[in-house]
A and B are shown apart, each in its own frame.
Chain A
Amino acid sequence: DIVMTQSPDSLAVSLGERATVNCKSSQSVLSSSSNKNYLAWYQQKPGQPPKLLIYWASTRESGVPDRFSGSGSGTDFTLTISSLQTEDVAVYYCQQHLSFPYTFGQGTNLEIK
């Protein structure tokens, strides 16, 4: 199985400041055939299901604010929120969907400082 490890486990950022969440995979999730990174990011608020934010490591899902961005390739990825808003308080998960079983990081809990 591909192990996904996120850092930090929790993060407190001031409103309007930048928040950065990291995700590292135990094997590359870059497909040699498509040259795409099979890495997605989700946001989960308390009592709600996960919400897809980003796929292909850097493509925003329709309707996701442009303050959310994803970057990285191979085994190291980053989710960045450029200017933190109150509604961004949530747990963020990365997921690899290159190989079975699909696996998630342990989650990063983002709070307001």
Chain B
Amino acid sequence: QVQLQESGPGLVKPSETLSLTCTVSGGSIISYYWSWFRQPPGKGLEWIGYIHYTGRTNYNPSLKSRVTVSVDTPKNQFSLKLSSVTTADTAVYYCARLNDHGWGDIWGQGTMVTVSS
């Protein structure tokens, strides 16, 4: 069955760039949309953006100026870069598979990223 696993630094300094990778196993990244979400401690879920394996992207306007999502089909991975981070970006970051209509049917376990000096 398809599984997703996030990886990347758990601590990022303010003003730097947060970089995470999601590795897809048990299936191909070709087809479907692949998305990033985040959840600040004790708070609700926020959609960050998605990428299609063709490279087409869509981002949350609230983060659009700082977000880049990319895909590496040979490696079966997609990645998130969030620039100029502040403490408000501290959250658990999840990668997920979106079906064509926009719901997340498979999620990674999540990775906690703390922004602190």
Tell me if A70 is interfacial: C-beta within 8 Å of chain B. no
What does the 1/0 interface line of A31-53 toward B look like (CB < 8 Å)?
00000001010100000111110
- Is B110 a contact partner of A49 (Cβ separation < 8 A)? yes
Contacts of A98 in B (CB 8 A): 102
Which of A10-18, A20-28, A74-82, A104-112 is the interface stretch? A104-112
Contacts of B107 in A (CB 8 A): 49-51
- Is B101 a contact partner of A102 (Cβ separation < 8 A)? no
A105 to B43, CA, bound (A): 11
Chain A's closest residue to B60 (CB) is: A101
- Is B47 a contact partner of A102 (Cβ separation < 8 A)? yes
A105 to B46, CA, bound (A): 10
What does the 1/0 interface line of A84-113 toward B look like (CB < 8 Å)?
000000000101011011111111000000
Cβ-closest 4 pairs across A and B: A97-B102, A49-B107, A40-B103, A102-B47
20 A-B contacts, Cβ less than 8 Å apart?
A49-B94, A49-B96, A49-B109, A50-B94, A52-B105, A56-B101, A93-B45, A95-B45, A95-B103, A97-B102, A98-B102, A100-B58, A100-B60, A101-B60, A101-B62, A102-B60, A104-B45, A104-B46, A104-B47, A107-B44
Contacts of B102 in A (CB 8 A): 38, 40, 97-98, 102
Consensus secondary structure, chain B interface: loop
Chain B interface residue count, CB cutoff 8 Å, equals 20
Contacts of A40 in B (CB 8 A): 102-104
Most B C-beta atoms less than 10 A away, residue of A95, A98, A105, A106: A95
Tell me if B27 is interfacial: C-beta within 8 Å of chain A. no
- Is B101 a contact partner of A97 (Cβ separation < 8 A)? yes
Given contact pairs A95-B103, A101-B47, A49 touches B108 in the complex (Cβ within 8 A) = yes
- Is B58 a contact partner of A50 (Cβ separation < 8 A)? no
Contacts of B109 in A (CB 8 A): 48-49
Tell me if B61 is interfacial: C-beta within 8 Å of chain A. yes
